[in-house]
Structure 1
């Protein structure tokens, strides 16, 4: 009788190991996450500047610490496993955003890492759908990426890339009509920097597109 009880206990243990979700399963290595690498580098650079009591790009020590705090918060979001970003359009116009192509795995001939989707004014992309950034039309200007709030114009097509774990709010400055964003460490990327489709078109052409980005209301 004891032998059969012993066998039953052993079988229960093996069944539990076979079918239960392993709590010790390996998490994706953060050291290979490009967003985590960039955020970590930015924190290290700003911390060195702060420790040396010098200024970077016109930042005061207080502004430097604020940026460090914001980046530490982003780093924490990545460490807790948030692997998607969100885009919120408050520009008054349709914008083009970048996200994963749902048919990418089925279509081996898909040329780009991200698809280009259109997000209507007042809409935000859906939770868990990874918005990696947005396209800046060739007649648009950008403001707010420098401490002196300088308006920037670009002579070639660019996109704005964000790290995972961020909710990017895109607005239009009423005084300059320039695009402004709320995330401090966005990246300006060109076609040779990332495998994205970055066209050379105006806002007027973007306005003609039917919104098709997955949103919170869809």
Structure 2
């Protein structure tokens, strides 16, 4: 499944442009406590590790893409005026998104799945943490594709669209992380029906 449209070159150019803006403009995020954000701490540590890998292993397209994406996610956290992630659905179908658990939830997972109807976006006071991508069963010409969670960081404004040719879901931004079942404490059902059977309510949307 095509997870996002952006090519390595596009992501790299975006990051260069954003870093240049940071050098010539007074940051709007002065005084924000983004440095205490768990995602910011994790991204900063991962970026340091990948930069070290580049020094020891040399240039590779994979390492360069990781560096560009990590810098981009870090920039979002440092500069966004939104303290939450916002997800917009333009796919012509209902999506499943991740958000904060209700206070009375008995779930042991870190978050919960919610329905996001087509043509709406999540409320700017409700933290959208990512999008659920259903798995695909194996066919004669293709191996099975496991279900995934497309994680975003605070401040991201994610727009999901549908590819007119393949009908696959595409995004305007790369993910902070793509998670498979067992890699994080997130509910990632194997398929869409299993997710719906779990009982899902509608996300808080922007009126």
Pick closer, same or farther for the CA change 1:185–1:155 going to 2, 3 Å.
closer
Pick closer, same or farther for the CA change 1:112–1:176 going to 2, 3 Å.
same
Classify the secondary structure of the residue corresponding to 1:57.
Answer: helix
Kindly indicate whether the alpha-carbon contact (under 8 Å) linking 1:86 and 1:167 is maintained by their aligned counterparts in 2: yes
Distance in 1 between the 2:108 and 2:189 partners?
14
Cα distance per residue 1:109-134 (max 9 Å; x no partner) = 33222121100011100002011101
Partner of 1:176: 166
Cα distance per residue 1:7-26 (max 9 Å; x no partner) = xxxxxxxxxxxxxxxxxxxx
Distance in 2 between the 1:184 and 1:120 partners?
22
Kindly indicate whether the alpha-carbon contact (under 8 Å) linking 1:40 and 1:75 is maintained by their aligned counterparts in 2: no
Partner of 1:30: 35
Kindly indicate whether the alpha-carbon contact (under 8 Å) linking 2:101 and 2:112 is maintained by their aligned counterparts in 1: yes
Pick closer, same or farther for the CA change 1:175–1:204 going to 2, 3 Å.
farther
Distance in 2 between the 1:37 and 1:137 partners?
29
Partner of 1:129: 126
Classify the secondary structure of the residue corresponding to 1:139.
Answer: coil
- When normalised by structure 1's length, the TM-score is 0.61
Residue segments in structure 2 that go unaligned for 5+ positions in a row: 1-31
Report which of the two structures shows the higher radius of gyration computed on alpha carbons.
1
Matched, 1:54 2:59: yes
Kindly state the Cα deviation for residue 183 of structure 1 after the two structures are TM-superposed: 2.0
Partner of 1:77: 79
Pick closer, same or farther for the CA change 1:58–1:174 going to 2, 3 Å.
farther
Pick closer, same or farther for the CA change 1:75–1:40 going to 2, 3 Å.
farther
Cα distance per residue 1:74-124 (max 9 Å; x no partner) = 13137x7x542111111111011111122x3x45x3322212110001110
Distance in 2 between the 1:64 and 1:195 partners?
23
Distance in 2 between the 1:71 and 1:122 partners?
25
- When normalised by structure 2's length, the TM-score is 0.64
Matched, 1:160 2:150: yes
Pick closer, same or farther for the CA change 1:69–1:153 going to 2, 3 Å.
farther
Residue segments in structure 1 that go unaligned for 5+ positions in a row: 1-26, 141-151
Pick closer, same or farther for the CA change 1:159–1:29 going to 2, 3 Å.
closer
Classify the secondary structure of the residue corresponding to 2:62.
Answer: coil
Distance in 2 between the 1:64 and 1:155 partners?
22
Distance in 2 between the 1:101 and 1:153 partners?
34
The Cα RMSD (Å) is 3.8
Cα distance per residue 1:19-78 (max 9 Å; x no partner) = xxxxxxxx86725x331023324554676659x98342286xxx8896576344213137
